[in-house]
Amino acid sequence: MLVEFALHHAWLVPLLPALAFLIIVFLARPWPKLSAFISVGGMATACFFATLAAYGVFTNHQYTEHPLVYAARWLTLGLPGMPELQINVGVQLDPTSAMMLFMVSFIATFIQLYSVGYMKGDPGFSVFFSYLSLFAASMLLLVISSNLLQMFIAWELVGLCSYLLIGFYSHKISAREAAKKAFVTCRVADFGLLLGILGLVITFGTLDLVELSERVANFREYTTFGTMTLLAILVFIGPIAKSGQFPLHVWLPDAMEGPTPVSALIHAATMVVAGVYLVGRMLFLFHEVPVAMDLVAITGAFTALFAATIAITQREIKRILAYSTVSQLGYMMLALGVGSLTAGMFHMWTHAFFKALMFLGAGSVLHALHHKADVWEMGGLVKKMPITSWTFVIGGLAIAGIPPFAGFWSKDEILVVTLNGGHYILYAMAAFTAFLTAFYMWRLIFLAFYGEEKPENHPHESPWTMCVPLIVLAAGAMTVGLLGTPWNNIWAEWIFFGEAHHSGEIAWGAMISSAVIAVAGIYLAYTLYLKDKEKVKVKALAERYKSLYNLSFNKYYIDEMYLWFNHTMVDGSAKLFYLFDIYVVDGIVNGLGGFGKLSGEGLRVLQTGRLQNYALVFFLGVLAIAVLMVFAGPSTASLVLGGVM
Amino acid sequence: METSIYSVLAFYVLAAVILGSAILVVSMRNIVHSVLFLAICFIAMAGLFLILDAAYLAVIQVLVYAGAVCIMIIFGVMLIQRTDMKQSNLFNRQTFMAGGVVALTLAVSGFFAGTTAWADLAANTPVPEDSLGQIGQLLLSKYVIPFEVAALLLLVALVGAIVLAKEVKANVDD
Amino acid sequence: MLTISLTHYVVLSAILFSIGLFGVLSKKNAISVLICIELMLNAVNINLIAFSKYITPNEFIGQIFAIFVITVAAAEVGVGLAIIIAIYRNKLSVNLDEFDWLKW
Amino acid sequence: MSFPVLPVILLAPLAAALVLVFVPKDEHKLIKSVAAIGTFVSMALSFYVYFGYDQTLGGLQYVIRHDWIQDLGVTFFLAVDGISLPMLLLTNLIGFSAIFASWNIGTRPREFFILLLVLITGVMGTFIAHDLFIFLLFYEVVVIPIYIMVVIWGSSKRVTKEYAAMKLTIYLLIGSGFLLVGVIALFTKSISILGAPDMSFSALAIAGSQLSAFDQKWLFALLLFGFGSLISMWPFHSWSPDGYAGAPTAVSMIHAGVLKKIGGYGLIKVAVVTLPVGAHFWAPWMAVLGIAGVAYAAFGALAQKDLKYVVGYSSVSHMGYVMIAVACLDVIGLNGAVANMFAHGVMAALFFSMIGFIYEKTHTRWIPDMGGLAHQTPKLAVGFMMAAMASLGLPGLISFMPEFTIFVSAFDNYGGLAVIGIAGIIITALYVLRAGANTLFGPPRTEYDHLEDIKGVELVPLVVLGTVLVVGGLLPSLLFDMINSGVVPLHAEISNVLQLGGNL
């Protein structure tokens, strides 16, 4: 009964946090506690409905084949009977969106709960919660969208919220710039996505996802292959920025300028997975175009490796996590690129738990150390902050891919599908990335939580509102992967593209090798950072490969390149256009004015201002008219005189 | 229409007086002399009006022009001309240009005067004896509105002249 | 020829008008200009009355016109003189060469 | 006879202006209240008309028509349809807000508000007149108060306010001069076709579409120049940034918000409908000019350091979209054009009113001199950011759907060329965010610590325009259904002519 209600009122899920946003902004703002209560309450209720809806979808197998869609007219242009453009907004529920709905609302709830403790005493407490609610609402709207344009709208709203939240400490210039960077970077990519959407609506005449997928399937009847490729690539440009893929990943590490719960929300549940989700949703389009699929896969694999190589040298705790997010998103893209919605979504699912956990753990650490972010200045935190540390370790095991933690199953799934698809180079890249992942994540753990305590730090355990989410998420990070074990793969029965293609055959080789790779990574980190107390070997290595180290530490100078491009090319051409405007365009205008003025000055000589002079000229005129009238005849005269007579 | 030699003679004499005095009006260097010749010109013109059977207008001419207007101008001159009277009425710098325009005007109007067939227009009936009575009748019947307007004009001109010429007092209020 | 026709009057009037015009255009003294305007108006009057006699002797149109002209002329002289006096009061001069007020 | 609602809407501000003449000039509160009441009556009634208009019926409604100058076929013809109604509503929304945005005017408020009310009346008149003569009459009424207001209450920055006023006025007058030539030529040609002089839009449309292709082309060129310079079509745009920078807040609001739209409105309602063949011929050029305007002005805005110049250039850029949309000559494009004019009007007015408050409080508009204002004046910052977000076309705010529809149509009709125009959204985001960030965010400056946030009646522009911004964004059909009901028949007429005269 309640499940039915939740299924058919799934729009309530985004609406509740949106309402919370409105109530906080207009009413509850002066009372921080009330605001927090409204926000968390709204989110929890939404999560409740989302859970019910997800339960409804997962228990009813008809929705895996035919999504539950209901929509309302939003905009119609053209004649009522045969519109030229019709946009509907609505809800599309299938296992993919139901899973996302549950995941987003679940994680958002706990992050909000965590924020109650983390943001305590902040002057913008209420505002922060209103933003969080709006953020969650936008993301949930994106998830349930039945229409590509609706999805785009939510997509942009997510971008707006990230802008607001990254720039939450707006008195800091770095936060301000990071927010701007996030927005503009995503904007550049959205330009591509928008073009893709325009192309789709022009080519196929609809943006409803279901209809679109049907029409795309028969595309050869009315469009060419080249168009299709172009469209797919354009659509993919959007996710490149949103999901932090190379080369538009630059905003994501900077996004940690926001409060830590925001980073957790962005990195785990909302913003970045939007891109992956979009690609997953549009897989029917990519699937038709092998080139686009390859592009997605290669971008994903490259990003994964690329970000991992940066992460190994970073010093700030949140920056390391940020690059690890970029890397993990690369995995998801890789999975989608090789055609496995199952693996991609599965990794997104597990990643959401352990990454949220790790970010919240990092926030807890920062909270305790008064925002000292450098991992080299931490150490031995495990003694003073046991809950934070142990949950973080669980997260570390999960992301490194140690069985039976969540990350292992999903990462393994990706490696297997890559290998099965015959993409050996991509597999090698992914496997190496897995090694690096284990290494840098455990480097972080060994440096921050183990080793010697630093006397200048006075850490303390965080309050319960922060610890409960950590524990819950840690439990999730341990268990959620069990949904998709090779032995009992419920996941693959729900979420797949095309045919459910789980063979049932267990790829022992891949599984064992990925576990070994993970252990090797951890061991390397152990020898370099924990066993070697003075870190001699590390310093020697950094010294020996100094140029490589610098390249990695400075993130391959990509930010600098963008900065240069922005300041030289864009601002330069802006200056140029402006100068052209005031000197050439305005020059012509003012020149015309000047010409008028000059000729006026010239003619002014004729204007003596003397009465008799004027009378003389006037009389000459009278004479001329008289002569004209008489000799030319009245009709001609009237013509010449302009019809005056 | 009968024409006596006297009327012809009278016309030429009067015309000569009118034109001669008009030229003197323009050419005199003393403004008072100019006004004097203006009065002579006006009086001669009244004579011309008599020849034209417009006795009433001749009277008006003498009264208004030779009398009122000339006197008024003399007053004007007296009010403002306090320097050397001998140099009071000179030509300006555009005299030659003005001469050209005037010559042109004369030529054009002379040409028109000469070429127009005036004879065809002539009614060839004598002017009624009681011109004054008829004019009076017309002014108060057919032309009553222009008449009244003219009266109003005079009133307005009167007020206007007073306002314009009134001595501006140094602001009493301050 | 010893008859006086309309042509005579028209020519006389034209000459008188031209003399007046010449005065208007070339005299320095503002009062003199006013005087010359009177000459021109009188030239017109001659024309009007001559037309009245020769063309419409019974309707008196010309004469009535002339009456109005005289009226207007009287008014004009009055106002004109007042203006000149007002100007004189401000500038202590009636020399038109010194006035170029018709431009800004 | 029903209640003559349109004349009342038109005359209410004028009546208020008339009342103001008799109000003592020192009664500042009273003056402002009278002005506010006048515009409020108009606004309320135009809401009534907007929601009372029968969209299924379409066509001209609330018609008032009286003979006026019969020899010229001029009738006093007021009516609204789906295109003019949004514009009327927009005018009143902005007019009402503009009164409150200039609430703190200290010098000669009575004269200011009288002129402002006359201005509002004039602009409204252009949108509800359906007679070309009346249209032009109201348009000319508009120009003069603007000149006076800029000269007296304006501000001199890069250029003096006198220069700005002069440039603005002369530019618009030259534009309307060309327009007038075109209109007169059209009118004289129409007499022989119609058999009797008639200046109404509908009659001229019938006559105009029967003109030869050659006539249509050169006439359209004249009208395009006239309306184009009004809508600040590139390269006839340079009056716009200077003019807005020099003008007082209310004038900037009304000018950028609605007056500029007279160009687009006229282009659609007069030029395109009357001369479809000419429009078809010039459409590619219009598109090119529009796209050039979008990109060029966006870059121009990027180089600005004065807030008003930023918005000035941005409005040129946005009007470029309208030009592109009109050039598409299809249902989606025309819908987008009108909707974008509405959306940009609301957004630009909000932007200018917020900048006006910032200037009033900080006495500067120079971006490097500001920073961190969000901490001292949070409500102002909210308004500013809303306008900024609308300006960069954020979904959920009013300007997204118009831009989207324009993009659909432009991409459909002009393909790759349109991409350059669409790329404008990136640059827009860059300059808008940069201006916002450098003004509002960053470390708060101590010299602005004493500033008071906007409060009381100063909030009216934010509330009124902000509400429209959000509601129009969430429910675009409120706006689009209305516009669509006007555009569909109009487009049917055009395409009819174009099909018949395809071989002209």
* Whole-number Å distance between alpha carbons of A239 and C88: 88
Mean pLDDT to the nearest integer, C10-35: 90
| ∠ CA A486-A492-A494, rounded to 5° | 145
What is the pLDDT confidence band of residue D82, given thresholds at 50, 70 and 90?
confident
pLDDT of residue A638: 61
What is the reported pLDDT for B38?
92
Q: Which of A74, A79, A581, A582 to mutate to test the interface with D (most CBs of D within 10 A)?
A: A581
Angle at D54 between CA D53 and CA D59, to 5 degrees: 90
> For residues A344 and A418, what is the distance between their CA atoms, to the nearest angstrom?
11
Alpha-helical (H) ranges within A205-224 are: 209-217
Distance from CA of B101 to the nearest CA of A (A): 7
Query: What ipTM goes with this model?
Result: 0.71
pLDDT band for D502, please (50, 70, 90 cuts).
very low
CA distance A619 to chain C (A): 9
- Pairwise CA distance, residues A463 & A385, whole Å: 11
- The per-residue pLDDT for B119 is 76
Q: At what angle do helices D276-302 and D416-440 cross, to 10 degrees?
A: 40
Q: Is the pLDDT of residue B90 over 80?
A: no
- Joined together, the tokens standing for residue D279 give 């429009």
With beta carbons under 8 A apart, name residues in chain C contacting B44: none
CB D73 within 8 A of CB D109: no
Q: Which two tokens stand for residue A535?
A: 């870190």
Look at residue D501 and tell me whether its pLDDT is greater than 60: no
pLDDT for B171 beyond 70: no
Q: Helices in D231-306 by DSSP H: which ranges? A: 239-246, 249-254, 260-266, 273-274, 276-302
Do C66 and B128 make contact, defined as CB atoms within 8 angstroms?
no
Q: Enter the tokens of residue B53.
A: 């059977």
Residues of C in contact with A609 (CB under 8 A): 99-103
Is A259 strand, coil or helix?
A: coil
Which residues make beta-bridge pairs with D145? none
Mean residue pLDDT of chain B comes to: 84
Q: What is the pLDDT of residue D396?
A: 83
How far CA D307 is from CA of A427, D348, D366, D367, D388, in Å, comes to: 53, 12, 7, 6, 12
Q: Which residues are registered as beta bridge partners of D80?
A: D61
* Closest CB to A77 among D167, D331, D443: D331
Predicted pLDDT at B174 = 46
Residue B97 sits at the chain A interface (C-beta within 8 Å)? yes
- Residue among A607, A611, A619 whose CB faces C21 most closely: A619
Q: Given CA atoms C51, C55, C58, C61 in this order, what sign does their dihedral have?
A: negative
User: Which positions ≥6 away from A32 have C-beta within 8 Å?
Assistant: A125, A126
Residue B77 CB contacts under 8 Å (≥ 6 apart), including other chains: B31, B32, B35, B88, C31
State the average pLDDT over residues B41-54: 90
Whole-number Å distance between alpha carbons of A136 and A142: 10
Task: Check residue A109 and give its pLDDT.
Answer: 86
| pLDDT of res. A498 | 64
What's the CA gap between A403 and A412, in Å, rounded?
10
Q: Residue B20: its pLDDT value, please? A: 93
pLDDT at A184: 86
D341 versus A541: the higher-pLDDT residue is: D341
For residue A340, the SS3 value is coil
Whole-angstrom distance, CA of residue D353 vs CA of residue B97? 63
Alpha-carbon D264 to chain mean position: 8
Report the candidate in A349, A252, A238, A346 with the shortest Cα–Cα distance to residue A285.
A238
At D39 the pLDDT is 92
* Residue A569, pLDDT score: 81
Specify whether the CB–CB gap between D469 and D345 falls below 8 A.
Answer: no
Q: How far is CA D385 from CA A178, A374, D390, in A?
A: 17, 34, 8
Q: In angstroms, how far is CA A600 from the centroid of its own chain?
A: 62
Residue B156, amino acid: V
Of the pLDDT bands very low, low, confident and very high (cuts 50, 70, 90), residue B46 is very high
Quickly count: other Cβ atoms within 10 Å of residue A140's Cβ.
31
User: Do D and C make contact, counting contact as 3+ CB pairs within 8 angstroms?
Assistant: no
Residues 36-75 of C with CB under 8 A from B: 36, 38-39, 42, 45-46, 49-50, 52-58, 60, 63-64, 66-68, 70-75
- Contact state of A612 with C102 under an 8 Å Cβ cutoff: no
In 10 A of CB D202, how many CB atoms?
Answer: 17
Tell me the pLDDT tens digit for each residue of A388-432: 888 888 888 888 887 778 878 888 888 888 888 777 888 888 888
A87 pairs with which residues across the strands? A75
Give CA–CA dist D63/D79, Å, rounded: 4
Q: What is the per-residue pLDDT across B119-166, written as a single tens digit (0 to 9) for each?
A: 777 777 777 878 888 888 888 998 999 999 999 999 999 898 888 877
C32 pLDDT above the threshold of 70 = yes
Instruction: Give me the residues of chain A with pLDDT under 50, please.
Output: 643-645
Closest CA to D88 of D125, D39, D51: D125
Cis peptide before A247 (omega within 30 of 0): yes
The answer to whether residues B70 and B38 touch, using CB atoms and an 8 Å cutoff, is: yes
The answer to whether C87 contacts chain B (CB < 8 Å) is no
Instruction: Assess whether pLDDT exceeds 60 at residue D249.
Output: yes
Output the CA–CA distances (angstroms, integers) from residue D125 to D5, D121, D147, D266, in the order listed: 13, 6, 19, 13
A-chain residue closest to C23, CA distance:
A612
CA angle D202, D208, D210 (to 5 degrees): 115
Q: Domains in chain B, ordered, with CATH?
A: 5-91 (1.20.120.1200)
Per-residue pLDDT band for B2 (boundaries 50, 70, 90) equals low
Q: Where are the alpha helices (DSSP H) in A369-405?
A: 381-384, 386-400
What pLDDT is stored for residue A72 in this prediction?
Answer: 83
State the smallest CA–CA distance between residue A613 and chain B in angstroms.
Answer: 8
Domains of chain C in start order, with CATH, are 6-98 (1.10.287.3510)
pLDDT-based confidence at B13, cuts 50/70/90?
very high
Structure tokens at A550: 């610098």
Chain B nearest CA to C104, separation (Å): 22
Q: Do B108 and A616 touch (CB under 8 A)?
A: no
**Confidence (pTM):** 0.80
Mean pLDDT across the stretch D218-236? 87
How far lies A195's CA from each of A234, D371, D395, D432, in Å?
Answer: 7, 35, 15, 21
Q: What is the pLDDT of residues C13-24, one digit of tens each?
A: 999 999 999 999
Mutate to test the interface with A, among C17, C18, C21, C25 (most CBs of A within 10 A): C25
Per-residue pLDDT, B113: 82
Three-state DSSP string of A559-581: HHHHHHHHHHHHHHHHHHHHHHH
Query: Residue D15's pLDDT is what?
Result: 92
**D296: nearest Cα among D246, D374, D356, D236:** D236
Which tens digits make up the pLDDT trace of D353-403? Answer: 988 888 888 888 888 888 878 888 888 888 888 888 888 888 888 888 888
DSSP-derived letter for residue D258 is I
For C23, which residue in chain B has the nearest alpha carbon?
B26
Q: Provide the pLDDT confidence category of residue D160 given band limits of 50, 70 and 90.
A: confident
Residues contacting A595, CB < 8 A, separation 6+: none
In this prediction, residue A564 carries a pLDDT of 83
Tens-place pLDDT, residues D473-494: 888 888 888 888 888 888 888 8
